[in-house]
Structure 1
Amino acid sequence: MSDSKPRSPRGHLSTPQAALDALLAEPAGGPIHRALWLEELDRRLRPRLPVPLAAHARLANFERGRLVFVVDAPVWRAKLRLLAPELLDAARSVGLDAAELVVKTTTPAVASPQPDRKAKPLSAAVQRDLQAALASLKEPEAGGPRDAS
């Protein structure tokens, strides 16, 4: 009976776990490990925020005692800054040496230059002029290149 798992040409098991292990290997895996660590830290700190605020705030970084959060509007920045003592205490309770809270506001997504607009119907005069212009393109000019005689 054969093993049903796919094998690489060298006979090693080829699994997504092996690919993940290779991706996380040092030194290239350092930034990935840090991103995963920050995501886990965000999951531990965000529940400590009031529910309306938690939906608009995200942990962006922690470095040299600075806890950096990103919010999506200035009003949430102000509300999060008011909670700085409680949030720093929460960070300390999970083992961070947090001394300062920095809150940054993201810029809103850039709107498309031309918003989707429905086409306006053409007036009767514009339709008539457009038809005349199209008809003039179809008619060969006398003595022009289209006149074969």
Structure 2
Amino acid sequence: MSDSKPRLPRPHSSTPRAALDALLAEPAGGPIRRALWLDELDRRLRPHLPSPLAAHARLANYECGRLVFVVDAPVWRAKLRLVAPELLDAARSVGLDAAELIVKTTAPATAPAQSHRKAKPMSAVAQQALQAALASLKDPDHSGPEDAS
């Protein structure tokens, strides 16, 4: 797992603390404790990133001396790799035995398919059918299809 022991935030009241203690009980609490520890580690390392980069990078994991960061675009991956020595030094300053930085790029969030589609022009036959349908709605003498029999 990790070389450092996870530090947990302390709840302020006794009721949430009892719930948190129950949630973190072994063995089910292991992944939750790890997630809280990684979140705290991310908060400690984020100030060492340049401000534009910090908004696009997040610590995803730390294991076996490797810091794994996730960024949302290839440009941020390149920028994060440039500050790798400073980031590894910062990780060592908080007690980690960090030797390597791995940067992964997440898949871009896709917008709904509708926003990328352009409307196709209507054929002449479709336009005529639409005009006829609209005209029939405006004609008060036109009776509905139920009267056609």
- How does the TM-score come out when normalised to structure 1? 0.73
- After superposition, residues 102-141 of structure 1 pair within 5 angstroms as 102-115=102-115, 125-131=128-134, 135=143, 137-141=145-149
For residue 21 of structure 1, what is the aligned residue in structure 2?
Answer: 21
Higher RCO (CA-CA < 8 Å; seq separation 6+): 2
Partner of 2:55: 55
Deviation at 1:124, TM superposition (A): 8.5
Tell me what 1:5 maps to: none
1:33 aligns with 2:36: no
Q: Using the alignment, how far apart are the partners of 2:78 and 2:131 within structure 1?
A: 60
The one-letter code matched in structure 1 to 2:97 is D
**Which whole-Å CA distance do the structure 1 matches of 2:108 and 2:82 have between them?**
23
Percent identity among equivalent residues?
A: 74
**How many residue pairs get matched?**
125
Runs of 4+ in 1 over 6 A off after TM superposition: none
Q: Which deviates more, 85-94 or 107-116?
A: 107-116
| C-alpha deviation, 1:125, in angstroms | 4.7
1:98 counterpart SS class: coil
* Runs of at least 5 residues in structure 2 that lack an aligned partner in the other structure: 1-13, 120-125, 138-142
Give the Å deviation of 1:131: 4.5
TM-score computed with the length of structure 2 as normaliser = 0.73
Rg larger in 1 or in 2? 1
Q: Secondary structure at the match of 2:33?
A: helix
Give, as a single letter, the amino acid of the residue that structure 2 aligns with 1:16. Answer: P
For 2:92, the equivalent position in structure 1 comes to 92
**Structure 1: which 5+ runs fail to align?**
1-13, 142-149
Matched AA of 1:112 = P
Shift of 1:34: 0.3
Per-residue CA distance 1:6-26 (angstroms, 9 max, x = gap) = xxxxxxxx9232211110111
Matched with 2:46 is: 46
Q: CA deviation at 1:126?
A: 4.7
Q: Which amino acid aligns with 1:139?
A: D
Q: Please identify, of 123-132 and 64-73, the stretch whose mean Cα deviation from structure 2 is larger.
A: 123-132
